[in-house]
Amino acid sequence: MASVGSEYDAQAYWKEQDFQTSARLHLQHWIWNYQLGYQVHRLVDIGGTRPLKIADVACGNGAWLLEVQRKWPTHEYHGFDLTSSHFPGQPWLPQNTNFSVWDLFADMPAHMEEAFDIVHIRAIASAVKNNEVQTIVQKLLGLLKPGGYLQWDEQDSSTLEGRIVSKSTDAKSSMKSLVAVQKALHAGHGMLWDWLHDLPSTLEQANCEVVVNDVFNPSPELSRAWADNLLTVCMGVIDRMPERDIPMPEASDLPESISRKSYAKLVQEAAVESTKGSWMGMNQVVIVAKKLG
- pLDDT by residue (tens digit) across 226-250? 999 999 999 999 998 999 999 998 8
| 10-291 CATH, one of 3.30.310.80, 3.40.50.150, 3.90.180.10, 3.40.50.1820 | 3.40.50.150
Going by pLDDT thresholds of 50, 70 and 90, the confidence category of residue 2 is: very low
Q: Helix, strand or coil for residue 165?
A: coil
pTM: 0.92
pLDDT one-digit tens code per residue, 8-37: 454 555 556 678 889 999 999 999 999 999
CB of 47 closer than 8 Å to CB of 71 = no
Q: How far apart are CA 226 and CA 240, in angstroms?
A: 22
Domain ranges of the chain: 10-291
pLDDT > 60? residue 142: yes
The percentage of the chain sitting over the pLDDT mark of 70, rounded to a whole number, equals 92
Q: Where are the alpha helices (DSSP H) in the chain?
A: 10-15, 19-36, 63-71, 134-143, 174-188, 194-197, 199-205, 223-237, 260-274
pLDDT score for 18 = 78
CB of 126 closer than 8 Å to CB of 21 = no
pLDDT score for 15 = 54
Q: How far apart are CA 41 and CA 286, in angstroms?
A: 9
pLDDT score for 189 = 86
pLDDT score for 16 = 60
Give the residue with greater pLDDT, 74 vs 14: 74
Residue 238's nearest CA partner among 177, 185, 291, 278 is 185
pLDDT > 60? residue 222: yes
